[in-house]
């Protein structure tokens, strides 16, 4: 039975009419040029940049995965959300290099710094990463939300999950292919406001149903609100072992997040995602100038602090409502016989809370915000995929192609990525949890990209041979771990022989394995670079910290004001306050 009333449907319809109207107006004002389609004509203002970054980031892994992790593990994964400081690194450190180089893509920046080959390698790695994470996870989460809110829907023998997944693909695909980054960015600015407003309402109504913040902490327990306290189940021994066994586990937040991994690995993944990933950085490449780009990252950093309170806390609220019996239907849907959240059902936590605590009308606003957020996240990655394929691969083999042909090829590339993403959904369905899946795959693919960008900008002696070697070795190590993990994920009851090499690789905490990839990639890049010739002057000029001219330094200094500095300090202060509050 549908949980949406007629009033809810009216609100949802009005909301989408407004969004589509804005998108249509933007599309009509756009020109069929690659600069306009892929980078919105490079004239986005700071609020649109910041809101677009946030809306693209806040997608399936938050609406479905992060809320679910809140219900099962408390605030443990808030570490990832409190990495808003990475956006300040993007705005203050890397944006000047990116804007000054006038590139379309991150792989294009690598070509300027290193070589054409490094550009192609990163483009392929990025496209593979998008298929394994953002595209498929976004589709899967759309199906989850649709299935909870409209469980009785079926079409041609497909249940509500698959109907929702396919609808997400069709609507978002058309929306993205017609509008490009300009339509995506401007609609995301509106969606950010609605999403934040709606998620805050969910938190408020959830706390009201429960009896307030004090009641939440009493029912959930203090360990659910502690970022650092290890939660070792009864009968398990807390050790420093990097490999999980049946009787021994590392000191950890939960069974997949050892505290050393959170301390050292999570920032590497965060810096890769926020500072070098095309999916995010494309927004600042579309900014009007460096000032607007930097202010956009500062605004996005403020927004990024919200998920802890509008997604993780609602997850904990749902667990408390279910375990306390205040909403019995939640307990029936989510808890096992021992009163623990069933991992397979945790992904339904946020949409279930929406369906149970919100009144008619307001529920419609929140549901519209949820669906729009999922669509905007997919739209962002589709646009990033088409930009990477078209500008980094197709145009290199067809240098004389027309502007219209570039846009047409980008749209075709989007359709292909969608089909591949649909085929990957069964892998995600078998995983421990949506957020776990996303973080583990990103942990395997991020380290070599982080190494190449940050080492390359800070050390002008590193050359193309070192960068290519680091990318290839790191990517191979990541794919090897993914290949080892996939049979265990896909096949129920499958496991490797205890103590065998494959068993050890599969059972190393993914964050420790990620750190291993980072160390090996860094050593390979440094070793190969220093064992070969120094890069030519044109490959480091204006592209490393040690080669920026005094004039460029002056231009960067002139691009910000005292208020920009103060706003950045406030972001850091809020992050520290959150760590202090959730540390005891």
The predicted model gives 454-479 an average pLDDT of 93
Tell me: the pLDDT tens digits for 350-379? 778 887 888 888 888 877 777 777 777 777
What is the pLDDT, as a whole number, of residue 153? 63
What is the pLDDT, as a whole number, of residue 355? 79
What is the pLDDT, as a whole number, of residue 68? 77
Tokens of 414: 């989007």
The predicted model gives 150-168 an average pLDDT of 66
Distance separating alpha carbons of residues 355 and 353, to the nearest angstrom: 5
Say whether pLDDT at 34 is over 70.
Answer: no
Confidence of residue 518 (pLDDT cuts 50, 70, 90): very high
Closest to 223 (Cα-Cα) out of 362, 319, 103, 367: 319
Report percent pLDDT > 90 for the chain.
17
CB 451 within 8 A of CB 474: yes
Tell which wins on pLDDT, 137 or 408: 408
CB 369 within 8 A of CB 311: no
Confidence of residue 154 (pLDDT cuts 50, 70, 90): low
The predicted model gives 502-524 an average pLDDT of 89
Say whether pLDDT at 566 is over 90.
Answer: yes
Confidence of residue 240 (pLDDT cuts 50, 70, 90): very low
Say whether pLDDT at 229 is over 60.
Answer: no
What is the pLDDT, as a whole number, of residue 238? 40
Say whether pLDDT at 241 is over 70.
Answer: no
The predicted model gives 141-163 an average pLDDT of 66
Report percent pLDDT > 70 for the chain.
76
CB atoms within 10 A of CB 55: 31
**Residue matched to tokens 């549901």:** 367
Residue 310 has what DSSP assignment?
I
The predicted model gives 219-245 an average pLDDT of 55
Confidence of residue 464 (pLDDT cuts 50, 70, 90): very high
Whole-prediction pTM: 0.79
H or E stretch at 37: helix 34-39
Say whether pLDDT at 157 is over 70.
Answer: no
Answer positive or negative: Cα dihedral of 25, 26, 27, 33.
positive
Which CATH superfamily is 6-387+555-581 part of?
Answer: Sodium/glucose cotransporter (1.20.1730.10)
CB atoms within 10 A of CB 520: 17
Say whether pLDDT at 572 is over 50.
Answer: yes
* CB neighbour burial string for 374-409, b if at least 16 within 10 angstroms, e if fewer: bbbbbbbbbbbbbbbbbbbbbbeeeeeeeeeebbeb
CB 305 within 8 A of CB 84: yes
Say whether pLDDT at 336 is over 90.
Answer: no
Tokens of 345: 């059902």
Say whether pLDDT at 248 is over 50.
Answer: no
What is the pLDDT, as a whole number, of residue 522? 95
The predicted model gives 335-340 an average pLDDT of 70
Say whether pLDDT at 449 is over 70.
Answer: yes
Confidence of residue 391 (pLDDT cuts 50, 70, 90): confident
Tell me: the pLDDT tens digits for 274-305? 899 887 888 888 888 899 999 999 999 998 88
Among 68-77, 242-251, 393-402, 495-504, name the one with the lowest average pLDDT: 242-251
Tell which wins on pLDDT, 263 or 307: 307
Exposure on the CB side of residue 574, measured as CA atoms within 13 A? 20
The predicted model gives 63-74 an average pLDDT of 74
What is residue 394's three-state secondary structure? helix
What is the pLDDT, as a whole number, of residue 251? 37
CB 557 within 8 A of CB 486: no
Confidence of residue 343 (pLDDT cuts 50, 70, 90): low
Distance separating alpha carbons of residues 264 and 509, to the nearest angstrom: 13
Say whether pLDDT at 243 is over 70.
Answer: no
Question: In the chain, what are the domain boundaries?
Answer: 6-387+555-581
Say whether pLDDT at 568 is over 50.
Answer: yes
Among 50-64, 320-334, 430-444, 534-548, name the one with the lowest average pLDDT: 430-444
Tell which wins on pLDDT, 402 or 555: 555
Closest to 259 (Cα-Cα) out of 41, 1, 15, 79: 79
Tell me: the pLDDT tens digits for 574-583? 999 988 887 7
Say whether pLDDT at 451 is over 90.
Answer: yes
Say whether pLDDT at 422 is over 80.
Answer: no
CB 425 within 8 A of CB 165: yes
CB 311 within 8 A of CB 62: yes
What is the pLDDT, as a whole number, of residue 350? 79
For the chain, the average pLDDT equals 78
Transcribe 462-514 into DSSP letters. --HHHHHHHHHHHHHHHHHHHHHHHHHHHSTT--PPTTSHHHHHHHB-HHHHH
Tell me: the pLDDT tens digits for 164-212? 667 767 777 676 766 666 666 777 777 777 778 888 888 888 888 888 8
The predicted model gives 52-80 an average pLDDT of 74
Say whether pLDDT at 427 is over 80.
Answer: no
What is the pLDDT, as a whole number, of residue 232? 39
What is the pLDDT, as a whole number, of residue 183? 67
Among 75-89, 91-105, 170-184, 313-327, name the one with the lowest average pLDDT: 170-184
Tell which wins on pLDDT, 135 or 356: 356
Confidence of residue 31 (pLDDT cuts 50, 70, 90): low
The predicted model gives 389-408 an average pLDDT of 77
């Amino acid at each position: 039975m549908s949980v949406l009333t007629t009033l809810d449907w009216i609100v949802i319809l009005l909301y989408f009419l407004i969004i589509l109207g804005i998108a249509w107006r933007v599309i009509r004002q756009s020109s069929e040029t690659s600069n306009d389609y892929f980078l919105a004509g490079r004239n986005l203002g700071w609020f649109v940049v910041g809101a677009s970054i946030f809306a693209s980031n806040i997608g399936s892994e938050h609406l479905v995965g992060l809320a679910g992790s809140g219900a099962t593990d408390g605030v443990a994964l808030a570490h990832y959300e409190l990495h808003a400081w990475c956006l300040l690194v993007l705005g203050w450190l890397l944006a000047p290099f990116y804007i000054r180089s006038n590139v379309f893509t991150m792989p294009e920046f690598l070509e300027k710094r290193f070589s054409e080959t490094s550009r192609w390698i990163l483009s392929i790695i990025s496209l593979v990463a998008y298929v394994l994470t953002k595209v498929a996870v976004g589709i899967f989460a759309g199906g989850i939300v649709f299935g909870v809110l409209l469980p009785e829907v079926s079409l041609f023998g497909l249940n509500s999950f698959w109907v929702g997944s396919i609808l997400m693909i069709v609507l978002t695909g058309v929306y993205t292919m017609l509008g490009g980054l300009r339509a995506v960015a401007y609609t995301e600015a509106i969606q950010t406001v609605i999403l934040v407003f709606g998620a805050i309402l969910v938190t408020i109504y959830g706390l009201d149903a429960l009896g307030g913040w004090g009641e939440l902490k009493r029912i959930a327990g203090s360990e659910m609100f502690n970022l650092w306290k290890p939660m070792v189940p009864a009968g398990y021994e807390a050790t420093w072992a990097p490999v999980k066994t049946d009787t021994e586990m590392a000191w950890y937040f939960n069974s997949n997040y050892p505290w050393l991994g959170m301390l050292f690995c999570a920032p590497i993944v965060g810096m890769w995602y926020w500072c070098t990933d095309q999916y995010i950085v494309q927004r600042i490449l579309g900014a009007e100038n460096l000032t607007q780009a930097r202010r956009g990252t500062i605004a996005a950093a403020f927004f990024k602090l919200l998920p802890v309170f509008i997604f993780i806390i609602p997850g904990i609220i749902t667990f408390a409502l279910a375990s306390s019996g205040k909403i019995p239907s939640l307990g029936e849907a989510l808890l096992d016989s021992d009163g623990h959240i069933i991992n397979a059902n945790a992904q339904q936590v946020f949409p279930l809370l929406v369906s149970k605590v919100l009144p008619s009308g307001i529920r419609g606003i929140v549901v519209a915000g949820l669906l729009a957020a999922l669509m905007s996240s997919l739209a962002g990655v589709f646009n990033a995929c088409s930009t990477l394929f078209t500008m980094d691969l197709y145009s290199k083999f067809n240098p004389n192609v027309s502007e219209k042909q570039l846009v047409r090829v980008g749209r075709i590339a989007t359709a292909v990525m969608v089909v591949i993403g649909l085929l990957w959904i069964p892998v995600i369905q078998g995983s421990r949890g949506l957020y776990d899946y996303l973080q583990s795959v990103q942990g395997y693919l991020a380290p070599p990209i982080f190494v190449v960008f940050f080492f390359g900008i800070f050390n002008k002696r590193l050359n193309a041979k070192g960068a290519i070697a680091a990318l290839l070795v790191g990517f191979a190590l990541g794919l090897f771990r993914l290949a080892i993990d996939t049979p265990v994920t896909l096949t129920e009851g499958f496991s490797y022989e205890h103590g065998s090499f494959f068993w050890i690789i599969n059972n190393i905490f993914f964050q420790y394995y990620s750190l291993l990839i980072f160390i090996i990639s860094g050593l390979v890049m440094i070793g190969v670079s220093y064992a070969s010739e120094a890069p030519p002057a044109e490959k480091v000029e204006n592209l490393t910290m040690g080669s920026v001219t005094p004039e460029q330094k002056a231009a960067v200094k002139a691009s910000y004001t005292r208020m920009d500095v103060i706003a950045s300090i406030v972001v850091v202060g809020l992050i520290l306050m959150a760590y202090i509050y959730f540390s005891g």
